[in-house]
Amino acid sequence: MKKPFIAGNWKMFKTIDEAKNLVQTIKAGIGKLHDCQIVICPPYTALCEISKLLQDSHLELGAQNMHPETEGAFTGEISPLMLKDVKCRYVILGHSERRQYFGESNAFINEKIKTALKYSLIPIICVGETLAQREARTQFEIVKQQMDESLKDISKDEMMRTVIAYEPVWAIGTGQTATPEQAEQMQSYIRRLLNEMYGKEVAGRIPILYGGSVKPDNIALLIQKPNIDGALVGGASLKGENFVQIIMNAQSQIEAGLQS
Ligand code: 13P
């Protein structure tokens, strides 16, 4: 049975107190539900406190970015060792907001992925096209280039410890979700690329998430598609009830699918 993988990217939101409250709401809301893999990615300032709150739960901790070096004169950056220090297990890399506002290239993202893997952090690697690229019908080419360049020289064994997130930029924070068909079309393409690059076994094991305006009322239709293994949720992960509802709806849809 597919185990839904739901990650919340809190972006630049939440003070430490707000973050703690949000985690308590999520923990209470999901109760003993264990059939779902849940990752939360708070801002750096809250990682340490949230890490303590997650010790007695099966929720896992992730960061939103990371520098490829372990230490050095990189003002304002955070290193993989620092993320390990606060017990992060995951790190989001190559998010479109990093690409767009901070000029991150596929080559730089590739360096980050390699370091994350070296220090046993699981990268959630984001790919996705802009609206202009989709309108020019170059979305498959763009995603292929992002995959080829950001996964350069990553071995089969390393690839087993990654997660891919397809986030079409035009669907992020806009309320305009990709249709389940549009998401599935790209995600089955990503699965095919992984198959060509790493073989069937690896391709079959890597969770491929969808991100972009995921809400409690659209997760069910998305998760029922064969190549949508879960979601990377932005705005709707900032409200405990919404995030919990997304998890519950994903889980119920998978159980319903099994019975039908
Ligand atoms: P929204 O869910 O707010 O569209 O954000 C998606 C996202 O960027 C998650 O990383």
Hunting for tokens 């998760």 — which residue is that? 223
In this predicted model, what pLDDT tens digit does every residue of 14-64 receive, in sequence order? 999 999 999 999 999 998 787 899 999 999 999 999 999 999 899 999 999
* pLDDT of amino acid 106: 98
Instruction: Answer whether 241's CB lies under 8 Å from 29's CB.
Output: yes
Choice from 167, 218, 219, 239 to test ligand 1 binding pocket (greatest atom count within 8 A of CB) = 167
Residue pair 24/242 in contact (Cβ under 8 Å)? The answer is no
The residues that are catalytic are 95, 167
Question: Which atom of ligand 1 is closest in space to residue 211's alpha carbon?
Answer: 6
Give the pLDDT confidence of 130-183 residue by residue, as tens digits: 999 999 999 999 999 999 999 999 999 999 999 999 999 999 988 888 999 999
CA distance 12 to 31: 27
Q: How far apart are CA 144 and CA 140, in angstroms?
A: 6
What is the Cα–Cα distance from 47 to 243, expressed in whole angstroms?
19
Question: What's the CATH code of the domain at 89?
Answer: 3.20.20.70
Give yes or no for residue 211 CB within 6 A of ligand 1. yes
Cβ neighbors of 92 (< 8 A, separation 6 or more) are 7, 9, 41, 62, 63, 64, 65, 123, 124, 126, 165, 232
Q: Tell me the residue ranges of DSSP E strands in 133-188.
A: 163-166
Phi/psi of residue 237, each to 5°?
A: -90, -5
pLDDT tens per residue, range 97-117: 999 999 999 999 999 999 999
Residue-range definition of the domain harbouring residue 94:
5-259
For residue 239, give Cα distances in angstroms to 9, 14, 76, 184, 198.
12, 11, 28, 27, 38
Residues 6+ apart with CB under 8 A from 202: 156, 159, 160, 194
Q: How many domains in the chain?
A: 1
8: helix, strand or coil: strand
Q: Which of 5, 6, 9 gets mutated to test ligand 1 (max ligand atoms within 8 A of its CB)?
A: 9
Altogether, the residues listed in the chain come to a count of 260
Are 90 and 163 contacting, i.e. CB atoms less than 8 angstroms apart? Answer: yes
State the average pLDDT over residues 191-212: 97
